[in-house]
Amino acid sequence: MLLFFLFTCLSFILFLKSLPLNSLPLWASEMTLLSLWSHREFSAFCISSLMNSFYRSFIPRTCSKMSIKKINLSSRVDNVEIGEKSVLDLPELVLECILEKLPPAELFNMAGVCSSLRNRCVSDHLWERHMRQKWGRVIGPAAYRQWKWYIATRRDIGNLKQGKQSGLARLLIAVWPLSWTNSKLDNSEKQRIPLPTDSIMSWYLALETGKFCFPAQVYNRENGHVGFMLSCYDAELSYDSQTDTFQARYPPHGRRAGAIESNVTWDRLRAQPVDAPPHDLHISDCLNDLQPGDHIEIQWRRNEEFPYGWWYGAVGHLESCDGNANYCRCHNSDTVMLEFRQYAPGSRWRHTAINRRNHREEGNEADGFYGGIRKLKTEREISMWKSLWPTEVLE
């Protein structure tokens, strides 16, 4: 209980400090979350398991596969003159079948038609499918947590303003002077932004309209800046439905100011492959498996002030090995040679060696620090990196 109090206080301070909103675009004031939940390995391609563990279980139904039950015509309250058939007269499963065929904009419109249609059209299982189809690849657990936080904080602010003070709000008022919290809130409340509900439909709409920014990673950040080729960095993203692209906001690095990049296309995004903040060192679990030819990603940062980026590389042969498959014993050696073939052979970035027995983080101020390693297992991830290969060799 005490831990919960401290945690919510800390996060609420961070949120209040990020106001007032008028001086910044609304989305730019979203706070970066401190992820205090326990971390789990999460693959961006397992979005369906995320959905199942957080939401009600969803049994996919398609018209052609389902066994259709015969249901008697049910009477509807908000209906037409007697004798005329209406879409509301249709059996439940048939109506479901029709709603499942609707694209998101139409499903949203149907929710505003009448009471009985509304109940069906806002239900999570219909919107789950749209979320998964459009957003599944770029939304991960971190984004989901940020959404939950977004709703919770907005609800508490709304309650504070209306005098419906939750336990949290009363606690805060006791700790900080009310005038200070009120002055911070007034600017936002002037706009009277309605609160989002805690539903998948709400989440989908918040993402679509760009009102909700979510954390994800961007390949080859800043329009393929040569200093970041074949790397993937964390950013806050907001969607622009007009152009079907994103605006990415990269956190500041040390003395380097935060950067903003516009028109980031879908193919340059992914959800975080490891559910951890970008400053956290990843503990490699694949070191014993690494052998020449494996594709990997490794964390790298300039120094402790900077967040890690994930950089693509491959496991190469040791210098003593001539690469002949019959005689290669590199996989038995304690030393693993990592190659970054996007760099020219003489370049200082071309190779680095790590010790598979005790590697955690190695490096220095000159060459930066090499951190945790992920072995790439899916063809999809590998071909993604290959598709981003620079046209010219880097130095």
Closer residue to another protein (CB): 110 or 172: 110
Instruction: Look at the alpha carbons of 248, 132, 310, 40 in this order and tell me if their dihedral is positive or negative.
Output: positive
Is residue 68 a contact residue for another protein (CB under 8 A)? yes
Is residue 75 a contact residue for another protein (CB under 8 A)? no
What's at 320, amino acid-wise?
S
Is residue 391 a contact residue for another protein (CB under 8 A)? no
Strands 368-375 and 295-301: antiparallel
Interface with another protein (CB under 8 A), residue from 19, 44, 111, 213: 111
Using alpha carbons, select from 229, 200, 232, 231 the residue that is nearest to residue 216: 232
Is residue 82 a contact residue for another protein (CB under 8 A)? no
> In this structure, are residues 220 and 388 in contact, taking their beta carbons and an 8 Å threshold?
yes
Interface with another protein (CB under 8 A), residue from 28, 90, 173, 314: 90
HSE at residue 191, side-chain half, CA atoms within 13 A, is 10
Instruction: Look at the alpha carbons of 199, 204, 207, 209 in this order and tell me if their dihedral is positive or negative.
Output: negative
Q: Which stretch binds another protein (CB under 8 A): 13-21, 47-55, 91-99, 140-148?
A: 91-99
> In this structure, are residues 287 and 274 in contact, taking their beta carbons and an 8 Å threshold?
no
What residues from 289 to 328 belong to the interface with another protein (CB under 8 A)? none
Closer residue to another protein (CB): 97 or 394: 97
By CB atoms closer than 10 A (0-12, 13-18, 19+), residue 14 is middle
What is the chain's alpha carbon radius of gyration, rounded to the nearest angstrom?
A: 26
Interface with another protein (CB under 8 A), residue from 26, 102, 314, 328: 102
CB of 166 to another protein, least distance (A): 20
Is residue 26 a contact residue for another protein (CB under 8 A)? no
Is residue 87 a contact residue for another protein (CB under 8 A)? yes
Q: Which stretch binds another protein (CB under 8 A): 20-28, 72-80, 266-274, 357-365?
A: 72-80
Whether residue 20 is preceded by a cis peptide bond, meaning omega within 30 degrees of 0, is yes
Is residue 79 a contact residue for another protein (CB under 8 A)? yes
Is residue 89 a contact residue for another protein (CB under 8 A)? yes
Is residue 91 a contact residue for another protein (CB under 8 A)? yes
- Torsion on CA atoms 253, 255, 258, 259, rounded to nearest 10: -100
Pattern 45-64, another protein, x by CB under 8 A: ------------------xx
What residues from 209 to 228 belong to the interface with another protein (CB under 8 A)? 209, 211
Give Cβ neighbours of residue 320 (< 8 Å, ≥ 6 apart).
Answer: none
Please report, in angstroms and rounded to a whole number, the separation of the first and last CA atoms in the chain.
54
Q: Which stretch binds another protein (CB under 8 A): 96-104, 141-149, 289-297, 363-371?
A: 96-104
> CA 111, CA 91: separation in Å to the nearest integer?
18
> CA 126, CA 386: separation in Å to the nearest integer?
36
Q: Which stretch binds another protein (CB under 8 A): 110-118, 245-253, 291-299, 347-355?
A: 110-118
Closer residue to another protein (CB): 154 or 331: 154
Q: Token pair 């950089």 is at which residue?
A: 311
Is residue 131 a contact residue for another protein (CB under 8 A)? no
What residues from 145 to 204 belong to the interface with another protein (CB under 8 A)? 193-197, 201-202
Interface with another protein (CB under 8 A), residue from 36, 80, 178, 344: 80
> In this structure, are residues 315 and 290 in contact, taking their beta carbons and an 8 Å threshold?
yes
Is residue 124 a contact residue for another protein (CB under 8 A)? no
Angle 124-135/47-54 helices, nearest 10 degrees?
A: 160
Residues forming contacts to another protein in the complex (CB under 8 A) are 63-64, 67-68, 70-71, 73, 77-80, 84-91, 93-94, 97-98, 101-106, 108-115, 117-118, 193-197, 201-202, 205-206, 208-209, 211, 241-242
